[in-house]
Amino acid sequence: MRHYLMTALLWAMLPAAVSATALPPPLTQAVQRISSDEPNNRVLNQLQAATLALDLGYREESGELFDAALNGITTVYANSEQAARARSLWYDEGAKDFKGEPYERAMAFYYRGLLDMYAGDYENARASFKSGLLQDAFAEEEQHRADFALLMFLEAWSSHVLGARGLASERFEELLTFRPGFGLPDDSHRLLVMVETGKAPRKLQDGIGGNILVYRPGKRFREEAVRLRVDGRTLDLNPIESIFWQASSRGGRPIDSILEGQVQFKQTTQNVSADVSGVAAHATMLAPAFGAAGGVFAGVAAVAGVATLATSQVKARADHRFWNNLPDKVHVLTLPMPAARQVQIEFLDANGAVIPELTQAVSVEVDNAGRGVVWARARRATDVDRP
């Protein structure tokens, strides 16, 4: 596993080094914002610039930016006694520096692992996905089980293509406890297709004085399902993860609120795995816990919050900064390597109708070991919601 041990000097110089290359204007602006914005927004701006760089095909720059962001994250959120002591002070003294909620930190490792897979480095990819699961388990200093099915699947997939059958089987079995009936790859599968839909979960201020955060789904998007056309076949992708669900829960338990670092959980039970086990029809595979069509979650806000300190005595308004170019859901499919080196991806609305303007052709990228990746987003990383 790589170590995020950049020196402070190199970390500070990174934005300038990246922006020195010939980048498109949106990415140039995103990179420049890292150094021009307030220092406490550094990690947030790095994450958003890194996502945009990945979306635009600037993978080297994206990797550098994700590494820099993860360097800032892992200094506080590591699995060590020293980091735990640091976190015990974080809510009181350092809450203004953005380090991300558990779902945001986990997604940073997801993208880092994706870049590793593109490079054919599945050992580091697997380690990244494992690290993301560890971040998912950090829940305001209470350790709860990780339930990030996307990362479980990707860790298992990495083991699968590396030929580590025992490790793959172990993680796939764990995945099935969260996603019963999920179709697992067989030995012939060498191609992974990952497609992202929708927009990032939003954090809005609520409560007296704005000291509580309200998590709400992204808005102004219609795509709910994904279809792949390749070699004359039409295949539906499986919706494996709702990022909104991850934002609004901890360890599978729905959040009611977070205040001063203490998580309050709703006094109800929900089984998110049951909601994604039926993938035969679009209407059933996008179920209530995934904020599906019909606005099931649109009017039901999952409440979460954190009160930060402006001084040692005065509580400030809740911090509602969020990683705004994350998706709403991630869909996956594995299959044997097709003859075609390009696939067509279609996005469907809640009624199963294709949204023509979102249809796109995506290249199949194959490494030297014959392992392939297709990754796509329904919309550009610049199409974001604001707080």
- 59: which 2 tokens? 């993978």
Give the full edge-to-edge strand order of the sheet including 233-236. 233-236, 225-230, 342-348, 360-363
- 162: which 2 tokens? 């590396």
SS3 of residue 316 by DSSP? coil
The answer to whether 330 and 236 have CB atoms below 8 angstroms apart is: no
Query: Residue 337 and residue 89: Cα distance in Å, rounded?
Result: 50
Query: Residue 96 and residue 92: Cα distance in Å, rounded?
Result: 9
Q: What is the pLDDT of residues 281-298, one digit of tens each?
A: 333 333 434 443 333 333
- The strand pair at 262-265 and 191-197 is best described as unpaired
- The strand pair at 372-377 and 191-197 is best described as parallel
- 82: which 2 tokens? 């020293």
The answer to whether 50 and 23 have CB atoms below 8 angstroms apart is: no
- The strand pair at 372-377 and 365-366 is best described as antiparallel
241 sits in which H/E element = strand 238-242
Q: DSSP secondary-structure letter at 384?
A: -
SS3 of residue 84 by DSSP? helix
Q: Which residues contact 123 (CB under 8 A, 6 or more apart)?
A: 158, 162
Strand partners, 203: 215
In this prediction, residue 308 carries a pLDDT of 33
Query: Residue 211 and residue 203: Cα distance in Å, rounded?
Result: 12
Longest Cα–Cα distance in the chain: 66
In this prediction, residue 89 carries a pLDDT of 42
SS3 of residue 373 by DSSP? strand
Query: Residue 257 and residue 276: Cα distance in Å, rounded?
Result: 25
pTM exceeds cut of 0.85: no
- To the nearest 10 degrees (0 to 180), the angle between helices 42-55 and 25-36 is 170
Backbone φ and ψ of 287, nearest 5°: -105, 180
pLDDT in tens, the chain (387 residues): 564 444 334 444 455 455 445 889 999 999 999 999 998 899 999 999 999 999 999 999 999 999 999 998 887 665 556 555 544 444 433 446 788 888 999 999 999 999 999 999 999 999 999 999 988 876 544 555 689 999 999 999 999 999 999 999 999 999 999 999 999 999 999 999 999 999 999 988 777 667 777 788 999 999 999 999 999 999 999 999 999 999 988 766 777 555 555 556 776 544 444 344 333 333 333 343 444 333 333 333 333 333 333 333 445 567 788 999 999 999 999 999 999 999 999 999 999 999 999 999 999 999 999 999 999 999 999 999 876
Give the residue among 272, 261, 206 at the shortest CA–CA distance from 239: 272
Query: Strands (DSSP E) along 252-311, which ranges?
Result: 253-259, 262-265, 302-303
The answer to whether 194 and 329 have CB atoms below 8 angstroms apart is: no
Residues recorded for the chain? 387
Q: DSSP secondary-structure letter at 289?
A: G
Q: Rounded mean pLDDT of the chain?
A: 80
Residue that the structure tokens 């039926």 belong to = 278
Secondary structure of 322-349 in HEC code, one letter for each residue: CCCCCCCEEEEEEECCCCCCEEEEEEEC
Q: What is the pLDDT of residues 78-112, one digit of tens each?
A: 555 655 554 444 443 344 678 888 899 999 999 99
Domains in the chain: boundaries: 184-377
In this prediction, residue 21 carries a pLDDT of 57
